[in-house]
Structure 1
Amino acid sequence: MSDILFSSRPLPFEQGPPRFDVGLAPIEMQHWLMPDDQAIWVGPKNELMDAESGAVFASIRGSIPGQIEAAELVSHACGLRIDPGEPPLFAASRLVSDDLVLMEMRDGVWTNTALCLCSPTFFSAHDAIGKSLFGLHRPVPGGDPGLGGRISRVFSLLRDELVLERHNWTVQWSNARYTPDGTPLRNAAGAAALAEAKEALHLRVERQTIRRLPQTGAVLFTIRIRLYKLADLLEERDLATAFQQAWREASPDVRAYKKWDSLERHVAALLQNYAGDS
């Protein structure tokens, strides 16, 4: 297996099933965006941005100062210049594999004021723009007001020099990164033979960071997607055991939220082959 495959070890399922909690931990500033271990996506991402700019980017009035500050920080981290002829956050997003989401305090609540979303995990830029943290987390079990409120407090208490990181994971059918709608993938999985699971099932990991912007007080939220062929991971016995346990222990609300029902039989077949599941 390649070095890139294990660049983010430990993999998040090694800590158990997905959980709906804050789960943020501090990281060193120099590890915020660089090195970009998913830089292979930057070229195709730019092609997507050129072809579907109206679908992947959205902003609301008054967001330009925050966009400019966010773009300057991304440009500095990468050592690259942005295109001055494009919206600043859109231009900055061209430089990294990460999606960029700008959150600002509006009417007393943290609100999404601009974003470029080229690797969405089953939602779109236009689903998110203008929504508060509570609205963004409403679909998550316990998200509104519980999780949304806890994240809001973290945003409000962020220090300028602090970068926080968390990871989330799911399983999807195919290695597609641009997935604003998961329905086609679930339909394909539902119609597929078990033999197709080895090539099609992928672990999708979201590496998320938040960082306060000192001048505007906005928060920049970044999302980096890593995709791993699940069958390749399961070839390692310790990973197969850890994944099997995490998959089995995922609660019903996690399974329902992530819509894993279409994948259950395929994952079970892989686990039987690689983890000795019966």
Structure 2
Amino acid sequence: MTAILQTTIPYDPLNARKLPGVQPLAPEDWIQRDEAYSEQIAERERLLADRRDQVLKMLSSALPAATELLEMVLAAGETVEDGAVIRQDGRRVALDWQDPLGSLGRIAQQDFCILEKPTGSPEHILTGAVLCFPASWTLAEKYMQPLTAIHVPVDSYDAGIAARVQRLFDGVQPGRPLWRFNALWYEDPTLFQPRSQSAPRQHSGPDQALYLRSERQAILRLPRTRAVVFSIHTRVLARADVMRQWGQPASAGADLV
């Protein structure tokens, strides 16, 4: 399969931030498209057709939140005519309100995770997601899990970071989204890269990698259902393009995965 690559990235991915590394995000900027939109959308449609059980999961109780999320994405600039979205690539996609995450997977470049906090629970739980481009994790293992379990086996996600992230999810307000990014060096540019949390990971330096994979992650509160949405916009760039735009790596993510 031909690699789907971007050639530029709108932030410096080599300027690492300590976890959780969040900053305010303008509400109008939480949904983005870039030059790889058409190719990534085509890959998302293929994955939803061929691997739906691996890239989409949702509790029935999460339907109201997923419906509200679809409404917000449509309001963020999509062209809707007669119950269908006219995508940027010219394709017409019928909206299925009984399958809002499936519809989202076919019209938005981002992946979306829905996290809800049941009464009495100390943590938010992953109740639904359309995750076509997993970066070395598996939706089946994280579905219906709390935040701490979702972040296994991230070494730097200790008890202190876990508490800070939970406070962040508790505190994020409607209309005031947040964002952060990560950056890891990869040998393989494939977008769909699931990996079990028990699978061994390589730990090599960025000098050996051919590609940089970075996720722009947004966190926002849905005003009606109060669910928290974690969106993921994935960019994969050839090493030469990263160096051309941002110079030599000083503090980029060091893992080669």
Range of TM-score over shorter length: 0.7 to 0.9
Distance in 1, matches of 2:115 and 2:239, equals: 33
Q: Secondary structure at the match of 1:127?
A: helix
Counting matched residue pairs gives 231
Paired letter, 1:25: Q
TM-fit CA distance, 1:54? 0.7
The correspondence for 1:155, drawn from 169, 173, 177, is 169
Q: Distance in 2 between matches of 1:58 and 1:47?
A: 17
Q: Unaligned stretches of 5+ in structure 1? A: 263-278
Contact persistence 1:173–1:185 (CA under 8 A): no
Once residues 124 and 31 of structure 2 are traced to their aligned partners in structure 1, the CA distance between those partners, rounded to angstroms, is 23
**Contact kept? 1:134, 1:148, Cα under 8 Å:** yes
The partner residue of 1:87 within 99, 103, 111 is 99
Whether 1:24 aligns to 2:22 is yes
2:135 maps to what in 1? 121
Q: Distance in 2 between matches of 1:111 and 1:207?
A: 21
CA contact (8 A) 1:103 1:219 kept: yes
When residues 52 and 185 of structure 1 are mapped into structure 2, their CA distance, relative to the original with a 3 A threshold, is farther
Report whether the alignment pairs 1:246 with 2:255.
no
**1:268 maps to what in 2?**
none
- C-alpha displacement at 1:34, in angstroms? 3.1
User: Does the CA-based 8 Å contact 1:113-1:129 persist in structure 2?
Assistant: yes
Q: Runs of at least 4 residues of structure 1 off by over 6 A?
A: 182-186
CA contact (8 A) 2:33 2:109 kept: no
Larger RCO: Structure 1 or Structure 2 (Cα < 8 Å, ≥ 6 residues apart)?
2
Q: Residue deviations 1:222-256, cap 9 Å, x none?
A: 001101101333356x612xx1x225xx6xxxx5x
Three-state SS of the structure 2 residue aligned to 1:155 is helix
Measured in 2, the distance between the counterparts of 1:62 and 1:212 equals 17
Give the deviation of 1:83 after TM superposition. Answer: 2.2
CA contact (8 A) 2:24 2:176 kept: yes
Structure 1 residues 58, 11: closer, same or farther in 2, change over 3 A?
same
- 1:204 paired to 2:216: no
Structure with more of its chain in helix, by fraction: 1
8 Å CA contact 1:137–1:144 kept in 2: the answer is: no
Q: Secondary structure at the match of 2:232?
A: strand
Q: Indicate the SS of the match to 2:236.
A: strand
Q: Percent identity?
A: 23
Larger radius of gyration: 1
Q: 1:39-84, CA deviations, whole angstroms, 9 ceiling, x for partnerless residues?
A: 1311121111111101111122411111111111112214144622
Q: TM-score, normalised by structure 1?
A: 0.75
Give me the CA root mean square deviation.
Answer: 2.6
CA contact (8 A) 1:78 1:95 kept: no
Could you give the per-residue CA deviations for residues 18-56 of structure 1, whole angstroms, max 9, x where no partner exists?
Answer: 64x111111211111034454131112111111110111
Contact 1:138 1:144 in 2 (8 A): no
Aligned 8 A contact 1:233 1:239 in 2? yes
1:86 to 1:175, Cα distance in 2 relative to 1, 3 A? farther
Supply the distance in 1 between the matched residues of 2:200 and 2:156 (Cα, whole angstroms).
27
2:48–2:105 contact (8 Å) kept in structure 1: no
CA deviation profile, 1:160-206 (whole Å, cap 9, x unmatched): 111111110000012211100387996xx9xxxx9xx6xx7100001
Unaligned runs of 5+ in 2: 1-5, 86-93
